[in-house]
Structure 1
Amino acid sequence: MLKAQRAAFVLQRLQELYPETPIPLDHSDAFTLLVAVLLSAQCTDERVNQVTPALFALADNPAEMARLEVEQIQAIIRPCGLSPQKARAIKRLSEILLEEHGGEVPADMAALERLPGVGHKTASVVMSQAFGVPAFPVDTHIHRLAQRWGLSSGKNVVQTEKDLKRLFPEEHWNRLHLQIIYYGREYCTARGCDGRSCEICRTCYPDRKHPKKTRKA
């Protein structure tokens, strides 16, 4: 099966499996999504969703968040890990949004990436899910599956993102990003599938004899 054929099958099968693509992180607007995605670094979405209600009850906008002490934020988000760094980033980015963006989250990739604690993946998620701008955020699930399915060499997440953007039509990027994550969690997990077990792996590589080694993100 050629790479283009594998990509076409992946797209078709994921659309069949996941016609609806709810965003896994609970949020009410671009700001709460930005904070939730920042908190999700090295943390599960489930844990983030357990923590954010208490945080957003105190502050669900930049003005209220900027008024909180770092220690207040840190005490609430501690279960998410890396709480000192994340708390400082959340407070400071809230201040910057007030100082430079009128208290609004900018719909601009470069401006988002300049915010404390906001990397390319976080900015891509906000652009795609909050503003509907085509983006293809690559997390550990997507990086792993792209290699297992022969869609990318997996040299690094930057290369994986470029490869996936070349393979799939732009109008599918935002949904496909979530569909791959859902599939990875349900069928093609890090330990539950070695590149030979799940339906997509078997279809893309029916003759694969050995586990597919993948590079980490």
Structure 2
Amino acid sequence: MNKDKRRQILERLRENNPNPTTELNFANPFELLIAVLLSAQATDVSVNKATIGLFAAGPTPAAMLALGVDGVKEHIKTIGLFNTKAVNVIKTCAMLVELHNSVVPESREALEALPGVGRKTANVVLNTAFGWPTIAVDTHIFRVANRTGFAKGKTVDQVEQGLLKWVPAEFKLDVHHWFILHGRYTCIARKPRCGSCIIEDLCEFKEKTEI
């Protein structure tokens, strides 16, 4: 895919959704961190249902830490991998209290040192909470980037590096959200909705559908 076509794709996505954001519900960086940590192998809808009660019971790292693993489990037991996630939430809250004065650190290294927080989660927090031009690559972004030909790669890291290379600075803050939403609602996994896609004519996917 050439430079001009990539830019046209980004311009159309921006025109269609000028101010994109995550579909996870959060009120501050701490809530975003916990929500993203819980979202692995779970839908945003299921996470949002669970965090309503969780955030009410534990609005700060110290308050959530006081709930204990069992207390967190009670709120997130409808989410996949809730046992492991509850342990990571408590360990993360403990580190935030002990090492960061209960403040979510604006540092990739510090974020990735938290239990259950990998590069993707750190990228989401840095981008959405702190406005960094990071690009978190999840399954939706990986699929859209490869299927369209925008940034092909066999691994998540390869796709991330391709996006960082090919996305102009003015689009970097929002491209993560555009691609996720596009993959979630239009360029879906089993049968993409090419007929209703705003970038169909620019996409290089060879097996396009009519729907």
Contact conserved, 2:9 with 2:202, CA < 8 A, in 1? no
Name 1:69's counterpart in structure 2: 68
1:92-150 CA-partner distances (Å, limit 9, x unpaired): 11000111111110000010001000010000000011111110111111000000111
Report 1:1-217 matches (<5 A): 2-193=1-192, 198-205=197-204, 208=206, 210=207
Unaligned 5+ runs, structure 1:
212-217
% same residue = 40
CA separation in 1, counterparts of 2:132 and 2:204?
33
3-state SS, counterpart of residue 68 of structure 1: helix
Once the two structures are TM-superposed, the CA of residue 199 in structure 1 deviates from its matched residue by: 4.1
CA separation in 2, counterparts of 1:129 and 1:21?
10
Once the two structures are TM-superposed, the CA of residue 20 in structure 1 deviates from its matched residue by: 2.3
Q: 1:7 is aligned with what amino acid?
A: R
Once the two structures are TM-superposed, the CA of residue 204 in structure 1 deviates from its matched residue by: 2.7
Cα distance change of structure 1 residues 124 and 56 upon mapping to structure 2, 3 Å threshold = same
Contact conserved, 1:148 with 1:195, CA < 8 A, in 2? no
Q: 1:161 is aligned with what amino acid?
A: E
1:61-108 CA-partner distances (Å, limit 9, x unpaired): 111011112011112101111011100000011000111111110000
Contact conserved, 2:32 with 2:129, CA < 8 A, in 1? yes
CA RMSD of aligned residues (A): 1.9
CA separation in 1, counterparts of 2:97 and 2:108?
18
Unaligned 5+ runs, structure 2:
none
CA separation in 1, counterparts of 2:203 and 2:55?
43
Q: 1:11 is aligned with what amino acid?
A: L
CA separation in 1, counterparts of 2:62 and 2:109?
22
Once the two structures are TM-superposed, the CA of residue 173 in structure 1 deviates from its matched residue by: 1.6
CA separation in 1, counterparts of 2:203 and 2:127?
28
Name 1:214's counterpart in structure 2: none
TM-score by length of 2: 0.92
The runs of at least 4 consecutive aligned structure 1 residues that moved more than 3 Å come to: 194-199
Contact conserved, 1:3 with 1:150, CA < 8 A, in 2? no
Contact conserved, 1:196 with 1:205, CA < 8 A, in 2? no
How many residues are treated as equivalent by the alignment? Answer: 209
Contact conserved, 2:135 with 2:164, CA < 8 A, in 1? yes
3-state SS, counterpart of residue 189 of structure 1: coil
